[in-house]
Amino acid sequence: MKKVVCEHIVKRFEGVTAVNDFHLEIADKEFIVIVGPSGCGKSTSLRMIAGLEQQTSGDIYIGGQKVSDKPPRDRNIAMVFQNYALYPHMNVYDNMAFSLKLQGVDKKEIDRRVREAAEILNIAQYLERKPKELSGGQRQRVALGRAIVREPAVFLMDEPLSNLDAKLRVQMRTEIAKLHHRLGATTIYVTHDQIEAMTMADRIVVMKDGVIQQIADPQTIYDKPANRFVASFIGMPPMNFIDCRLEKREAGLWLVRETMAVALPAAWAERLSQRFGQQVVLGVRPENIIPADAGGPLAAKVEVVEPLGAETLLHVRLDGQSLVVKAGPDYQPDEGQTITLSFDMNKAHVFDHETGTTIV
């Protein structure tokens, strides 16, 4: 059992609540990604689980055992950081073997674990080399190897790929996912990269200002964001948000602005019934807006066209509001042209104007 439980943990630094009421139960073998903007408390949360930072209140359990007051070495975890700082004077083998030697592990056992980890990470041919003779990706593998050889109950990773270039990041992302399948170790991975979160996680934890906004699998986070923040943070380009007034008319429910009026699905009536006449925010993802030269219900002016090869991004203006639309690769209207848009309302959302909470 390699479950990790964070029970309502709080971390206050002088004058700042860095993490507030962080409550999360992580299953054995689960891959959890904590994501959020800079300063939202991701590293602090991870460091408390590691025992590098003492929580102000709340408790932490690893493998069913309360570890709240235990030092890092007694928590059966291994951590991989962004700055993986290998020992420059030691070769790859010794870098990986170092912590095991300190623990007094038998020499033969060390050799077995180092060679096995090197095999898994595809660095067996570099064991004699010094870190400076390796590429960034190879060094990052050694850093992972150092964690693997310890055979911990839980891997904790804090932005381990952010020092690598874009191509290598994608490659290492896949490597870490494969590694997780192979080792099946419980992993908590911190990043501010939403693609890493979406592609690697069993479940994503989205944080903002020290507070968990939503915990769910990637598809649920994408399809059913708990609030406007989650909706805007996950998805590229981000969801479009349009301030509207909710009106009940004879022909059903409408969201209206100066010149724009969008009919809402009848099924939403109950959830919106307390809000007739109020300001709300309509959220539509760029891929859920269908552009056409003519025939759609909303007229918009094209400001910028960005052909990306596999798709075209259109920056348009609709009723005084800028929107981004994702079109097919073959749809490339002229800049300045007036086109029409229709929203796929079954995939749209309505948020509370003040709190940003999802209403629909």
Ligand X SMILES: Nc1ncnc2c1ncn2[C@@H]1O[C@H](COP(=O)(O)OP(=O)(O)OP(=O)(O)O)[C@@H](O)[C@H]1O
Give yes or no for residue 42 binding ligand X (CB under 6 A).
Answer: yes
Find the binder of ligand X among 39, 58, 137, 237 (CB under 6 A): 39
Q: What secondary structure, in 3-state letters, does the chain show?
A: CCCEEEEEEEEEECCEEEEEEEEEEECCCCEEEEECCCCCCHHHHHHHHHCCCCCCEEEEEECCEECCCCCHHHCCEEEECCCCCCCCCCCHHHHHHHHHHHCCCCHHHHHHHHHHHHHHCCCHHHCCCCHHHCCHHHHHHHHHHHHHCCCCCEEEEECCCCCCCHHHHHHHHHHHHHHHHHHCCEEEEEECCHHHHHHHCCEEEEEECCEEEEEECHHHHHHCCCEHHHHHHCCCCCCEEEEEEEEEECCEEEEECCCCEEECCHHHHHHHHHHCCCEEEEEECHHHEEEECCCCCEEEEEEEEEECCCCEEEEEEECCEEEEEEECCCCCCCCCCEEEEEECHHHCEEEECCCCEECC
Closest CA to 32 of 303, 215, 271, 181: 215
- Go through the chain and tell me how many residues it has: 360
Nearer to ligand X, 46 or 289 (CB): 46
Q: CA-to-CA distance for 297 and 77, rounded, in angstroms?
A: 56
Say if CB 38 and CB 46 are below 8 A apart. no
Nearer to ligand X, 192 or 353 (CB): 192
Give the shortest CB-20-to-ligand X separation in angstroms. 11
Nearer to ligand X, 233 or 331 (CB): 233
Nearer to Mg ion, 47 or 139 (CB): 47
Nearer to Mg ion, 39 or 333 (CB): 39
Find the binder of ligand X among 9, 24, 30, 44 (CB under 6 A): 44
| Candidate segments 12-20, 96-104, 237-245, 336-344, binder of ligand X by CB under 6 A | 12-20
Say if CB 150 and CB 78 are below 8 A apart. yes
Nearer to ligand X, 36 or 286 (CB): 36
Give yes or no for residue 260 binding ligand X (CB under 6 A).
Answer: no
Give the shortest CB-192-to-Mg ion separation in angstroms. 8
Q: Quick one: what does residue 13 bind among Mg ion, ligand X, none, with the CB cut-off 5 to 8 Å set by partner type?
A: ligand X
Give yes or no for residue 78 binding ligand X (CB under 6 A).
Answer: no
Find the binder of ligand X among 12, 115, 129, 192 (CB under 6 A): 192
Nearer to ligand X, 40 or 205 (CB): 40
Give yes or no for residue 18 binding ligand X (CB under 6 A).
Answer: yes
Q: CA-to-CA distance for 212 and 203, rounded, in angstroms?
A: 13
Nearer to ligand X, 47 or 139 (CB): 47
Give yes or no for residue 286 binding ligand X (CB under 6 A).
Answer: no
Query: Which 132-191 residues touch ligand X, going by CB under 6 A?
Result: none
Interface residues with Mg ion (CB under 5 A) are: 43
| Candidate segments 2-10, 34-42, 86-94, 248-256, binder of ligand X by CB under 6 A | 34-42
Give the shortest CB-158-to-ligand X separation in angstroms. 7
Q: CA-to-CA distance for 66 and 4, rounded, in angstroms?
A: 10
| Candidate segments 39-47, 141-149, 180-188, 339-347, binder of ligand X by CB under 6 A | 39-47
Token pair listed for 96: 């990986």
Give yes or no for residue 16 binding ligand X (CB under 6 A).
Answer: yes
Give yes or no for residue 244 binding ligand X (CB under 6 A).
Answer: no
Nearer to ligand X, 41 or 51 (CB): 41
Token pair listed for 29: 């073998």
Give yes or no for residue 110 binding ligand X (CB under 6 A).
Answer: no
Give the shortest CB-11-to-ligand X separation in angstroms. 8
Find the binder of ligand X among 6, 9, 24, 40 (CB under 6 A): 40
Give yes or no for residue 43 binding ligand X (CB under 6 A).
Answer: yes
Residue ranges binding ligand X (CB under 6 A): 13, 16, 18, 36, 38-44, 192
